A and B are shown apart, each in its own frame.
Chain A
Amino acid sequence: KAGVTQTPRYLIKTRGQQVTLSCSPISGHRSVSWYQQTPGQGLQFLFEYFSETQRNKGNFPGRFSGRQFSNSRSEMNVSTLELGDSALYLCASSLWVGNTEAFFGQGTRLTVV
């Protein structure tokens, strides 16, 4: 059974550009959530989608947005990139919400120069 797939694995962008990251959850999973990991702040919740609806959003500026498609695949977009957006972006999928195990992808390493 395939795991959570995130593409691309690595990305280098220039300040001011925008970027789109993709996450394909485990087949049959309907919940996808996104996290940002930095050395200083650790893992922080960005947003969560279930059946194409955003259910929760973390404390990030509006430059961070996302969506989920009918096949449960999800994308997140960051506009007007800043140096501080350099991080490992992780996606997690789970069958449902609440008492279900979450599985993470390998992440996308974004570097903003």
Chain B
Amino acid sequence: KQEVTQIPAALSVPEGENLVLNCSFTDSAIYNLQWFRQDPGKGLTSLLLIQSSQREQTSGRLNASLDKSSGRSTLYIAASQPGDSATYLCAFLRDNYGQNFVFGPGTRLSVLP
């Protein structure tokens, strides 16, 4: 069974810091990976999708990379802001035949003003 870990489980940083969130999976046979954020009691907001043929995606202050061979994905947040405070989840698809994501447990981020 595919296991997904996210490190750290929780992170508290002062505003303005650059930070890295990690996502690791035991089985490198994944198709693509998507990063989401979730505010308390809310749904998920899509941040970045790394498609099957890609290794990296960027949107504004966010950059995500995917290394299938090592089973790792990294989300980089530049110049963090209090509004970035949320739980960040990585999720991947095993194949191209469905939209049944396997989720990591998340990293809870607090950015202090």
Contact = CB atoms under 8 A, between A and B. Distances in A.
Interface in B79-101: 89, 91, 93, 95-101
Interface residues of A, number: 30
Find the residue from A31, A102, A103 having the highest chain B CB count within 10 A: A102
What's the dominant secondary structure at chain B's contact region?
loop
A35 B43 CA distance: 11
B32 interface: yes
A74 interface: no
A23 to B, nearest CB: 11
Contacts, number: 80
A102 to B, nearest CB: 6
A47 to B, nearest CB: 8
Given A99-B51, A99-B52, A102-B34, A31 B43 contact: no
Interface size class of B (residues with CB under 8 A): 20 to 34
A86 interface: no
Contacts of A35: 101, 103
A98 B31 contact: yes
A55 interface: yes
Contact of A58 (B42, B93, B100, B104): B100
A64 to B, nearest CB: 14
Contacts of B101: 33, 35, 43, 45, 92, 102
Given A43-B91, A99-B52, A104-B36, 7 more contacts: A45-B100, A92-B44, A92-B99, A101-B46, A104-B43, A106-B43, A107-B43
